[in-house]
Amino acid sequence: MEIAQYLSTKELLTCIRVSRTCEAHFTPALWTTLPLEKMVVKKNKSPPPIQWNADSVRHLSIKVSTFSKGLSSFQTNVLRECRNVKFFQIEATPVEEDLQILQFEDKVWTVLTKFVKENQGICRVDLGNGNINYSKDFIQALAMLPALEHFKAEYIVLQGRQLGQLLRLLPPDSGTNHVTALKSFSTSGAWMEGVEGLKRIAADKTLLTLTSFNLTGAYNLTWNEQVDLICRFPKLEILEWFYIDRKSCTEEFRANDFVTKIFKKCPRIKKLAFLSTVRMSPKIADYQNNINDKHLETIFRSAPVGLERINVNRSKFGPLAFKSLKSRPFFSTLKELDLDHCYEFTSQMAVECLESCSGLTKFVVVEISAADIARSAKKQGSKKWKCRNMEYLKAHITQLGSVDPPHANASQKVQDQYKKSLQLHKTVLGQLSIMTRLTHLDVGRSKIPSIFGSDEESLYSSEEDDEESLCSSEEDEEDWEDYEDTRDMNPIQTMLMKQIRKAMEREFLGLGIDRGSTGDKRAKNGYLTLRGDAGLNILATWSQLRYLNVQDLKQSMSSDDAHWIQKNWPRLHTIEGELHSQAQKSQVLKAIALGDRIFK
């Protein structure tokens, strides 16, 4: 029954208990998603009835910890029974991601390889981000899946032939009658061998329909090879590209390649996220961003007219790039603009985006000055900011005065300053209240973001790595005429995978960030304050808010304020930062503000 897919496990169990007929209809839905780690035989209990429900499994997930002690005989049998899996996933916990290279038994890879070969209907593969030394045969089995539409992997070794088959530049299998075109491909820190041969392939154009391509920190691929690879997909709509030059210390960023090659071959790009870095020293892994304001001006001047989402965080986006961006017709309809850690992007530019971009749903900048917001409010008059569709906002509000009420015997000057600061504060909140669809608000202290996505964790590391051994190896110039794989990849994997994560994390630091700047220019006594007497009630329009970050903003809420939040922001489920200077009181206030949601 179609309704089953919309029910929770608890609701499904309730339906099953109604009658035998309902049990027959709703039981398969319980087995649609199967975590392999739960398939264990407990003492004095009968094993899970997988033999009657294996055909219902569509999503099979395996945690890395499941492999650590080898697969049990029952888990092996589960993998043999499942024949209709569509989504195959290997998951790693944050702890497992930081472990050294994980070597699994040959038996494990034999079972997994056979599982993939017998589930030719798999259309989605997510290999997670664990430090796993994948079997060559296992990767080859994935590359030959004819129905594959979505592929994601991190820290993986790919042969040129395997990459070609995954991207549909080469047919997965000559004996396959029907091959599905790939829709999305995402790799991070992948080591690629023998890719030069792909350039000569005359691929079936009906299969080159890739729309989403994430090529982050690829090893062993030159700039030209990566550009050529991107240009093979004319229907590309999402391009996320982080290029790392691990050898050159002086190479200039080639912005014209975007204009003359990428944009010319891929005119449908709607989301563009990119970063380019060069190695500053041949002896240490010190990388710097080599994209300047002039480069960005060139790129945006020729960007596709359908561009909707831009992510160039940690770049030197400045006045030239902004002027070029404003001149394009898509500026007013931009949906996302991520300029985190772009310290040359000014507060005035940020306010201009809020005034002009009616389609903006995600906006990430270093800071916005309260004074600029007030000037905009005065200039706009009865006209409000156009960014009413905003859902995700990350910006530090600066130049706010203290809104703590002065003592009764305070001087007139102090009283006047307080009134002025309070009025400015309420003006800022009034402008922000226009964003009635806001779900994510981050006004806390900035964190170093990871590339093209989560900005919740710092990637700084003080450990030294021996990445030099990775960068000193010469590229293999051999061609593979018949696309036959003659290399033994196991020694390469053993060497690379022990170092590749630390090397990538080192490269993902605040590249190009002026480390002398904190991006935090707030007045000494002024912070964005969420408190009743400071105008909290103005923000009653944020009924959709789910995430709030006030990290390091020295909040001083009362229980009344927390109750107000619980009532007016009913969907809020996460609060980062303290709500009061006293940690214990802050925890109590969070519990009140989140209500029952804190336990969900």
pLDDT digits (tens, 9 = 90+) for 538-549: 999 999 999 999
Query: Per-residue pLDDT tens for 233-275?
Result: 999 999 999 988 766 655 678 899 999 999 999 999 999 999 8
Rg of the chain taking only CA atoms, in angstroms: 27
Are residues 523 and 398 in contact, defined by beta-carbon separation less than 8 angstroms? yes
Give the DSSP per-residue string, 84-143. Answer: ---EEEEE--HHHHTS--B---HHHHHHHHHHHHH-TT--EEE-TT--B---HHHHHHHH
pTM of the predicted protein model: 0.80
Confidence band of 476 (pLDDT split at 50, 70, 90): very low
CA 77 and chain centroid, separation: 35
CA 399 and chain centroid, separation: 31
Which of the 8 DSSP states describes residue 200? G
Q: Is 590 among the domain residues?
A: yes
pLDDT at 189: 84
Q: Is 356 among the domain residues?
A: no
525 vs 427, which has greater pLDDT?
427
Are residues 183 and 209 in contact, defined by beta-carbon separation less than 8 angstroms? yes
How far apart, in whole angstroms, are the C-alpha atoms of residue 339 and residue 343?
A: 9
Tell which residue, 326, 328, 333, has the closest CA to residue 308: 333
Q: Is 440 among the domain residues?
A: yes
Q: Is 579 among the domain residues?
A: yes
Confidence band of 27 (pLDDT split at 50, 70, 90): low
Q: Is 231 among the domain residues?
A: no
Count CA within 13 A, CB hemisphere, residue 230.
33
Which of the 8 DSSP states describes residue 592? H
Identify the H or E element spanning 157.
strand 157-159
Structural domain including 397 reads: 378-451+517-599
Q: Where are the beta strands (DSSP E) in 189-290?
A: 191-193, 212-216, 238-245, 271-279, 287-289
Query: Per-residue pLDDT tens for 324-349?
Result: 999 999 999 999 999 999 999 999 99
Are residues 18 and 27 in contact, defined by beta-carbon separation less than 8 angstroms? no
Q: Give me the mean pLDDT over the 512-522 stretch.
A: 38
Alpha helices in 221-363 (DSSP H): 223-230, 256-257, 263-265, 293-301, 319-326, 347-356
Q: Is 325 among the domain residues?
A: no
Residue type at position 426: K
Q: Is 521 among the domain residues?
A: yes
Q: Is 166 among the domain residues?
A: no
Tell which residue, 186, 164, 182, 185, has the closest CA to residue 173: 164
**Total domain count for the chain?**
1
